[in-house]
Structure 1
Amino acid sequence: MGTILDYMDWRGDLSFRQSEFNEVDNLILAMLSYVELDGIVPGVGKNAFVTVEQAAQRYFEEHTAEEIRAEISFTHLSPFVLRKMGECRRFKNAKLSKYVNQIDERLQKQFSALHIELDDKSIYVAFRGTDDTIIGWQEDFNMSFMTVPSQTAAVDYLKATLRTFGKKYRVGGHSKGGNLAVYAAVMSSKHVRSKIREIYNNDGPGFTKAFVAMPEYEEILPRIYSFVPESSVIGMLLEHREERKIVASAETGIMQHDGLTWQVLGNHFEYKTERTRESVLLDETLKSWLSGLDASQRESCINSLFSVLSANGDETLTDIANGGIKSLGAIMKSITTMDEKTKSIISELIRMLRKEYGKEVVTPIIEKLVPKRGGVSRKSRWGENKNGPDNGEKS
């Protein structure tokens, strides 16, 4: 077993003509999209490209390894994916082009994408996802009641860039990027959709019930490949109709969202048969919470939820983890006016973070978040089962 970095050590000497594109290659290209390549990769409308090897060289001329490691987010190590790609035969001559990176704080829009042409002449269109910023996760939740600006941008991007005939196109991404790939494929014209052979959603959120009932979604459904880790949160949001394969991770809890922790065996992921109890319970709680709300109520409740998570001034989930008792204490204090369903959501999110914090920190807070019922506390009802009620799921 290993990660996508190990995969490039094992199979990096094989061209795509020797060993065809696979699901691990998909994740590598999706994670590449997190690297800030402004000024390195040519933009849309320019008939030019740089190779992965050239992009890696230029990037590391401007950034040191120490600087990269000092960053704090789920995706801060993605430049090392770029560097490893630039060192192996399989990826180093891939052509990078049509890079776009749009940030509009007023519209709460974060959109980035690029084309990656492999040596078999196929093109992977990679959409960037969200990192572990609280505002980024809120954007994922916002998809439950609105079309977010990055989704519209993704449709426009495919319309502007999928112009070459005779090419094999794949579209994909990680986290929000996976959602954008599916959304853009569905909402594009039939002419554009016909050019897309495969669509990859790596732990990205789903869609509204109305969206997955669209005939255009039905049309592309056989082309969607979807992967989630055992403890998936983001990848379980909203509605999915495609089959989702469950991937093993070297991490626990919410940290499994990081694609660099996903486990690889040969040319495929290591699979698990079931998601963890935490993931299942949070999924059920979220669906129950959202199902009884209209769009305006969802917006109000989601805003409240994320204002609570940032109560200590934390900007990322990593900040909450590093803040320990102080961060969790601020969350506990700020939820006193929340309704019971919102409290339940927060308690399950914290429960999934428990493995990062340690039981001694989180358990007392969960006990205060979830009151005793019928004289029996949640903890005692669950007995020694640290992960929640036995609902048939295996860890």
Structure 2
Amino acid sequence: MATIIDYVRGARTPLAGDLTPADALALCSLIYTDFHALAGPRSATGCVLGEVARASSIPALYRHALPTHADRPLLEAAGTSPRFREVRVRDAVTRLVPRPLAQFGAATFVDSSGCCFIAFRGTDATSIGVAEDARFGLDFPTESQRWAARYLAYASKRAEGPVAVMGHSKGGNFALYAAAVAAPDALERVYAFDPVGFPARVAHSGFFTSLEGRVSTYVTAGSWVSPLLPLPAPATLVDSSWPGPLSHNPYAWATEGTALRRDRRRPSRSGTALARLLAAILRVRPPRIGSN
């Protein structure tokens, strides 16, 4: 089974305005690397992935990495890939705040045609990142969601071409929220990979109406993440080599050419049961809905 790293290693055509689902998943996985640790990627001009990959041995790039991820192999593959090595990464941001709980990471990738791909990081290995996840069913919007909207507004103003926004897990939630709030004119596509959902009052309220027809959501059958809260758009089931809730790991997802391989199985009953349990809890303690 081909993984996202296999796809990156095998892709031969430079990325130039032809973003595919596999490309988007690759960028959403790359953002787990802490580009903010290097001066080049966190600057406004940035540097190409080929240059960043030459610094792949620096431990700070993976200081918040999840042990199940293959962040360094992916970065090194991207650095030598004809498709990704000339992609520029800029405006990289990492923020960890204990009060209120907020973990946020983002970067802008720019291809040779000037298209901008804005990626938001999902939950990392920090205690703050894990603890913050519990807030998504209880509070809306969170500080991190607001940061995502501000980042997208800033990055979109700097964009010289079309914009796509994307994220995996919590990052997918940020991508959806930011796209709905910032609503940049140049926005063409939103990719959400097994995203954290939203309180039902938000997901079903018309909050995401402006994104209709522009959202691509992918989930795994065994996930315990995306089923917990309602999603604003229909999702496509994709295959993973890891079972059950472990299938959330993007490095285990199956690629098929430039696409993600479909999974014909039904979503797991355990994910559905967890969603029902959370819904019962939220009936006792309804989410706090604030202003954006």
TM-score of the pair, normalised by structure 2 = 0.88
Question: Of the candidates 161, 173, 181, which is equivalent to residue 187 of structure 1?
Answer: 181
Q: Distance in 1 between matches of 2:103 and 2:242?
A: 27
Deviations 1:180-222 (A, max 9, x none): 011111122x5x2x22110111111111223224445111132
Q: Distance in 1 between matches of 2:136 and 2:152?
A: 20
Alpha-carbon shift at residue 110 of structure 1 (Å): 1.1
Please name the residue that 1:363 is paired with: none
Q: Secondary structure at the match of 1:250?
A: coil
Deviations 1:136-191 (A, max 9, x none): 34422311121221111111112222114651100011110000011111122x5x
Question: Of the candidates 258, 261, 267, which is equivalent to residue 275 of structure 1?
Answer: 267
Between the two proteins, what is the percent identity of the paired residues?
24
Contact 2:9 2:78 (8 Å CA) reproduced = no
Question: Of the candidates 53, 57, 72, which is equivalent to residue 56 of structure 1?
Answer: 53
Q: Secondary structure at the match of 1:90?
A: coil
Please name the residue that 1:334 is paired with: none
Which structure dedicates a bigger proportion of its chain to helix? 1
Alignment of 1:300-339 (within 5 A): none
Any stretches of 5+ residues in structure 2 without a counterpart? none
Q: Secondary structure at the match of 2:104?
A: strand
Contact 2:102 2:128 (8 Å CA) reproduced = no
Please name the residue that 1:94 is paired with: 87
Q: Distance in 2 between matches of 1:199 and 1:237?
A: 20
Any stretches of 5+ residues in structure 1 without a counterpart? 297-395
Q: Distance in 1 between matches of 2:272 and 2:179?
A: 28
Please name the residue that 1:167 is paired with: 161
Q: Secondary structure at the match of 2:9?
A: helix
What is the total number of aligned residue pairs between the two structures? 284
Question: Of the candidates 10, 27, 30, which is equivalent to residue 29 of structure 1?
Answer: 27
Please name the residue that 1:141 is paired with: 134
Q: Distance in 2 between matches of 1:16 and 1:50?
A: 16
Cα 1:106–1:52 change in 2 (3 A) is: same
Alpha-carbon shift at residue 63 of structure 1 (Å): 3.8
Structure number, greater radius of gyration = 1
TM-score of the pair, normalised by structure 1 = 0.67
Please name the residue that 1:15 is paired with: 14
Alpha-carbon shift at residue 73 of structure 1 (Å): 2.8
Q: Distance in 2 between matches of 1:80 and 1:251?
A: 19
Indicate the RMSD between aligned Cα atoms, in angstroms. 2.4
Please name the residue that 1:318 is paired with: none
Question: Of the candidates 118, 138, 158, which is equivalent to residue 152 of structure 2?
Answer: 158
**Range with bigger deviation, 212-221 or 258-267:** 212-221
Q: Distance in 2 between matches of 1:210 and 1:280?
A: 19
Please name the residue that 1:177 is paired with: 171
More relative contact order in 1 or in 2 (CA 8 Å, sep 6+)?
2
Q: Distance in 2 between matches of 1:281 and 1:2?
A: 31
Alpha-carbon shift at residue 90 of structure 1 (Å): 0.1
Question: Quick one: which amino acid aligns to residue 25 of structure 1?
Answer: D
Please name the residue that 1:382 is paired with: none
Q: Secondary structure at the match of 1:199?
A: strand
Question: Of the candidates 113, 132, 142, which is equivalent to residue 120 of structure 1?
Answer: 113
Q: Secondary structure at the match of 2:93?
A: strand
Cα 1:133–1:39 change in 2 (3 A) is: closer
Please name the residue that 1:377 is paired with: none
Please name the residue that 1:257 is paired with: 248
Deviations 1:120-148 (A, max 9, x none): 32111010110366653442231112122
Contact 2:103 2:128 (8 Å CA) reproduced = no
